[in-house]
Amino acid sequence: MVKPTFVNLPQDKKEKIAQALLNEFSNHTLAEAQVARIVKEAEIARGAFYKYFEDLSDAYRYLYQLAMKEIHSFVGAPADYQPEIFYQNVVDFINQTQGSKYAKLVKMHMLYNESTVSEPFSQEVLVKLSPQNWSAMVLSHAAIREILAEPAQKELVFSKLKAGLTLLKKETD
């Protein structure tokens, strides 16, 4: 969680720091990222970085949340399984990501950083999801990762995703 000292900064300074974070995390995995490069580009003291963020992971989570707010408008899984909603959410996410300044960050996240910063679904969320919705979420996530890794395969992955989501629907009919 970003510290209050960061939240209270003037907007232009926050934007400059966010841009430095974006450049760093779009070009380096979280494991390879360096505070030194961030503070140099943002033109802040190293000590200031730690007044704004707990550590690199905290700064990364802040930036990724900014990206998701801009890119992803998750509607949530409907109570009854609707494959077309899952499919359209993936198509929209890919299209919005590819047209965003956060495209490289999202790719880096999905391919390298996700396992180190993401939290698994809570027990409460898992209990509420139907088997079809859980399966569709896992399949959708895998499709996004595959498309970001191999953009040339996008249409093939979309086709496979649509077929897989439809098969999940047939299992419940």
Residue 77 pLDDT = 62
pLDDT class for 118, splitting at 50, 70, 90?
A: confident
Give the up-direction half-sphere exposure of residue 52: CA atoms within 13 A in the CB hemisphere.
26
- Averaged confidence pLDDT in the chain: 93
Average confidence (pLDDT) over 35-44: 99
Number of domains in the chain: 2
Residue 75 has pLDDT above 80, yes or no: no
pLDDT class for 2, splitting at 50, 70, 90?
A: very high
11 and 58 both lie in a single domain? yes
Residue 103 has pLDDT above 70, yes or no: yes
80 and 165 both lie in a single domain? yes
Higher pLDDT, 170 or 17: 17
Q: What is the pLDDT of residues 158-169, one digit of tens each?
A: 999 999 999 998
84 and 62 both lie in a single domain? no
58 and 95 both lie in a single domain? no
83 and 166 both lie in a single domain? yes
Last residue of a domain, one of 52, 69, 86: 69
12 and 63 both lie in a single domain? yes
Do 87 and 41 contact (CB within 8 A), yes or no? Answer: no
41 and 93 both lie in a single domain? no
Last residue of a domain, one of 39, 69, 99: 69
Read off the pTM.
0.88
41 and 54 both lie in a single domain? yes
93 and 128 both lie in a single domain? yes
Domain extent at residue 48: 4-69
Average confidence (pLDDT) over 89-110: 95
141 and 96 both lie in a single domain? yes
Residue 10 pLDDT = 98
Residue 152 has pLDDT above 90, yes or no: yes
Residue 80 pLDDT = 83
60 and 81 both lie in a single domain? no
81 and 162 both lie in a single domain? yes
